Structure 1
Amino acid sequence: MSGETGPRTGRPSGRPRRSSADVLADAAAELFLEQGWSSTTVDQIAQRAGVSRGTFFNYFESKADTFWLDLDATAAGLGDVLRASSGPSTVRRVESALVQLAAAHPADRVPWALTQSDAMGLGDDLVASAAVRLVRIRATVASFLCESEGVPRGDVRSEVAASCLLAAASTAVVTWARAGVRRRALHEEVAAALAPVADGLARADRPVDA
């Protein structure tokens, strides 16, 4: 959902029919804007979407999950993209995979939770729901780095590298979402944020006498 245009309406030509998850996410966004996050219940979201409470929980574990419908769908493919990636080092493979995922994310699907958080009164709930996702994604990247380097899971260098790369990528997503009409392509924002971090990690791994 675009943060500039409000909840999605209609269906652009060529786009697949909107799923129940889309309808629920839009209903949640409308209600959060109308009456605030804390005053909106799951029952109200389901009623606005024209579905049952049970249907809501078929798609989302909580109302906070409606924030991230599109980004969750994009991030779900991270493991496969990492394994299929190529590059001169594991860090460069992660960099390439994250940029590739960003390029695959639909340009018009800007997370409304990042663009209208103040109007919706999201506050700490936005931070908490984002943190859960970052921890999950960081774990995927760290595991890939450890396996690719042949080091034990939990290796400190791999863990630090994963944290640095994800911090850069997540900052790029926030910057992209909040840029408004000045917004450039997401993959360009992610690539620009990752490049200096990947360069630094690559230098750290290079032998001193190289």
Structure 2
Amino acid sequence: MIEDAAAELFIENTYARTTIDQITTRAGVSRATFFNYFGAKSDLLWFEVDRAIDSLREACAEASATGSLDSVCQVLLALAGDFDERRVPLALTQGEVMGAADEVVQSGLLRIAAQARIFAAFFAARSARHPDDLLVRTAANALAGAVSAAWITWARAGIGRSPLQGYLAESVDVVFPGIRAAFDDVGRGNVY
């Protein structure tokens, strides 16, 4: 209810002119209820992505303990299979209409950084390296960038878009061979 009320108000009034009080009134809930589910108004732009990031965190933690380096790709594709056209993030499709372009960029970067931290933890665990290691950070940021590029392209493809899995597979295929090769080189004793 909160998400739907916010989406309507953001389009009617713009993002900047919509207050949390307006959202809670339209949704028929209290401010306290709002803050039980969302930390800030900008979180409403990304609720689908935030849910995916939570699932990604759990799945990557599990895969880092038992899977291969490539298992992160399997995790990503499995999570992408849960998304259909009804779950396209508002921020990626309606940001301009809502007058939230600047907020979308700022809050979007926080989500990319969150994904990079998850990937860094995964790569560090799989390679027995520290999460702040240059190779780990570079691989994590490259993969987070590929995931973000896939999401944006998928969301903006419009009605009739192909499933997210295809976009994600194509985007990850651009960077993952280099990530795998870099970790293989380290495994052979090459140091960065």
Partner of 1:52: 30
Query: For residues 30-109 of structure 1, what are the structure 2 equivalents within 5 Å?
Result: 30-85=8-63, 89-90=68-69, 92-109=70-87
**Structure 1 counterpart of 2:11, one-letter code:** L
CA deviation after TM superposition for structure 1 residue 96, in Å: 1.8
Q: How far does residue 88 in structure 1 lie from its aligned partner after superposition?
A: 8.3
> Deviations along 1:18-50, whole A, 9 cap, x unmatched?
xxxxx1111111111111111110000001111
- Once residues 165 and 30 of structure 2 are traced to their aligned partners in structure 1, the CA distance between those partners, rounded to angstroms, is 37
Task: Return the letter of the residue paired with 2:78.
Answer: Q
Match of 1:29 in 2: 7
Which segment drifts farther, 162-171 or 129-138? 129-138
SS at match of 2:174: helix
The SS at the match of 2:18 is coil
CA contact (8 A) 1:46 1:56 kept: yes
Matching of residues 165-204 of structure 1 within 5 Å: 165-204=143-182
Considering only aligned residues, what root-mean-square deviation do their CA atoms show, in Å? Answer: 2.1
> Are the structure 2 counterparts of residues 116 and 149 from structure 1 closer, same or farther at C-alpha, using a change threshold of 3 Å?
same
Instruction: List, as ranges, runs of 4+ consecutive aligned residues in structure 1 with deviation greater than 4 Å.
Output: 86-89
Query: How far did residue 171 of structure 1 move?
Result: 0.7
Give me the whole-angstrom Cα distance separating, in 2, the residues matched to 1:207 and 1:41: 52
Query: How many angstroms does 1:81 deviate by?
Result: 1.5
List gaps (5 residues or longer) in structure 2: none
| 1:137 lines up with 2:115 in the alignment | yes
Deviation string 1:91-113 (CA, Å, 9 cap, x unpaired) is: x2222211221112344211122
Q: Distance in 1 between matches of 2:89 and 2:34?
A: 19
Tell me the secondary structure at the aligned position of residue 16 of structure 2: coil
Higher share in helix: 2
Contact 1:85-1:96 at 8 Å conserved across structures: no
Counterpart Cα distance in 2 of 1:67 and 1:112: 5
Report deviation, 1:207: 4.5
TM-score normalised to structure 2 length: 0.88
Q: Is this contact kept in 1: 2:130–2:136, CA < 8 A?
A: no
Deviations 1:40-84 (A, max 9, x none): 100000011111112111111111111111221122121332244
Partner of residue 113, structure 1: 91
Partner Cα distance (1:171, 1:125) in 2: 18
- Which residue identity lines up with residue 138 of structure 2 in the other structure? V
C-alpha contact 1:176 1:189 (8 A) present in aligned 2:
yes
Please say which of residues 99-108 and 39-48 is displaced more in the overlay: 99-108
What count of residue pairs does the alignment treat as equivalent?
186
Q: TM-score, normalised by structure 1?
A: 0.81
Letter in 2 for 1:202: R
For residue 160 of structure 1, report the CA deviation from its aligned partner.
0.2
Q: Secondary structure at the match of 2:117?
A: helix
CA distance in 2, matches of 1:79, 1:180: 28
- Give 1:189's aligned amino acid: Y
Specify whether residues 88 and 79 from structure 1 end up closer, same or farther in structure 2 by C-alpha distance, changes over 3 A only: closer
